[in-house]
Amino acid sequence: MSDAITSDVPASGPAGVAAVAARQAAGTGRGEERPSRRVRSLTADVSAVGEPALWAFGGALALGIVLIAGFLFLVAWNGVTTFWPKPIAQVELRDGTLLAGEPTRSSRYRPGENILEALTAEELAFIEANDGFSDRVLYKTANFDLYGDDFRWVSDFEVAEVLYPEAFHLFEREQWGTFVGRVDGLVIDNQPTAFDYRLMQREQREARQRFRQMRRLERGEIGAINYRIDQQRLAIRRAELRHGAESERGAAMIAAAQARIAELEAEFAIVQARVNEIRDLDRRFRVILAEVNGQTRETELSQIVRFYPANALGLMDSLGIYLSRWWEFLSTEPREANTQGGVLPAIFGTVAMTLLMVIFVAPFGVITALYLREYAQQGRLVSIVRISVNNLAGVPSIVYGVFGLGFFAYTLGGTIDQLFYAENLPNPTFGKGGILWASLTLALLTVPVVIVASEEALAAVPRSMREGSLACGASKWQTIRHVVLPKALPGIMTGIILAMARGAGEVAPLMLVGVVKLAPALPIDQFFPFVHLDRSFMHLGFHIFDVGFQSRNSEAGKPMVFVTTLLLLVLIVAMNAMAIYVRNRLKRRYATAQF
């Protein structure tokens, strides 16, 4: 009996473990081998096998995934639903006051003593029935030019009745933001006309065409004429500096420039007359808007960007408005302190700056990594350089911004202005923030990432491949160019992808070296050099900061914060996906057998 018990229950200690191993090797006595299994000592501490740490690591990973997924869902949900049209509520308060607006969100709160003192007995009883709490709704009343505010909280104890009349319209305007109310009158060709929705739609579309025509003339032809006039004035200044106003050559150049300015001013007068003619015609088509309490505002139809009966929309009508708002957001410039309109200049600035940064950072990072790994004699100096490069990755980004402003803009840009643009001084050309200096600053910020990743990729190339190439008679550079670099390109692309992801989201250094709140004109025109890298630009990251924290009404800018954040994430993912696609193509192209 004791032998049977001993054979089933292993003894503790090394002798017991050895006995279990011997029995597993000998089998069960029936010609079978028992499968090996892990045997845990009954007296071993649970922490000795690492299971608590395993659960902690798994829990931390799960928590991180949940937080990231929650953040992405919050941004995606708020961003996707921002442009969906909402109904307009007419709220009658107990004191007889009327207000109208879009319900945006609600909350539950406990009224303070200062609020309770001003309430009636009926309102106090309403609050007491709810255990001292009250619900409230935030309405977007809009009509900033009338009310001086865009939003108003309304508590339940204040409300007498809430209706959704079909007569209410929402008007998106070029100036003063959104208007909520009714159409009180329509003026067509200076003739008062009864309001008809389809008639107003047709006239508003024609008025918007006139508005775009005026905008094209002002920014296109008039802008080009003004640019040429400025160039001629700079030519006069250049002649004075180089030849002197009293010299024969200088006087001839000045006279030619003045004659050209006179011709351009005549062209300007002709185009301006066309603009004035269109504007006079545009003023003949107006609409009179009335808010819920009867106050009115008259405006040209061309100033109405979009209007619709908010409480009488079908599904397809709502979908059409939703898609048109997205198209406006992606293809136009901002308006109303960046809280409405589009972000096309910010999209262009973000993409252009990121691509320029990659163009600058890739060669410098790869060349540095090649030298440190393939050419430099390994020793204390190279170790110090590597440590310094790793430490640069931890420097706060605002420090790079200060360096970029001081070195690139003031020192390098100021020198360029003195050498090539002296006639434009004291107005700087390159001696200020611009998209070129911003790209170089971010290149410095991200070059440590590219260097480290490139070094690791070069080190991962098998030494046998180098030796085989050298044994075949190839030089060191030929080996690097045709053997090492192709094999290391996927790893190098990984470093560039990380640099793109970090550079595209940086904001702090850009605030010092070129990004601005509003730059509606893209740095591209028909004048040489066609792409003007000295100009300031907009950036989606700074746009988010500006709308969320610098606008006159943070509540009005909150929807734009979410939708711009969603767009920035999509752009970063798209650029990274493109780079990952190139990296995978390189992997397949240069895949070889391992030595």
Going by their DSSP bridges, the two strands 340-341 and 151-155 should be labelled as: unpaired
pLDDT at 592: 52
- Annotate 47-95 with DSSP letters as a single string: GGGTHHHHHHHHHHHHHHHHHHHHHHHHHHHHHHHTTS----EEEEETT
pLDDT at 287: 95
Which SS3 state, helix, strand or coil, does residue 525 take?
coil
Rounded Cα–Cα distance for residues 270 and 264 (Å) = 10
CB 369, CB 389: distance < 8 Å: no
Q: Give the single-character DSSP code of 518.
A: -
Tokens of 379: 């020793």
Q: What's the length of the chain?
A: 595
pLDDT at 17: 42
Q: Amino acid identity, residue 163?
A: L
Which SS3 state, helix, strand or coil, does residue 507 take?
coil
- Region of residue 293 (phi > 0: left; psi between -120 and 50: alpha; otherwise: beta): alpha
pLDDT at 34: 52
pLDDT at 46: 57
Which residues of the chain fall below pLDDT 50?
Answer: 1-18, 20-21, 25, 27-32, 593-595
β-bridge mates for residue 103, sequence order: 139
Q: 344-589 belongs to which homologous superfamily?
A: MetI-like (1.10.3720.10)
pLDDT at 530: 86
Domain over 89-175 is classified CATH 3.90.660: no
Which SS3 state, helix, strand or coil, does residue 444 take?
helix
pLDDT at 152: 92
How does pLDDT run across 493-513, given as a tens digit for each residue?
Answer: 888 988 988 888 889 899 999
Rounded Cα–Cα distance for residues 340 and 559 (Å) = 10
| pTM attached to this predicted model | 0.85
How does pLDDT run across 177-234, given as a tens digit for each residue?
Answer: 899 999 999 999 999 998 899 999 999 999 999 999 999 999 999 999 999 999 999 9
Q: Which residue ranges make up each domain of the chain?
A: 68-85+314-329, 89-175, 183-313, 344-589
CB 194, CB 186: distance < 8 Å: yes
β-bridge mates for residue 289, sequence order: 183, 297
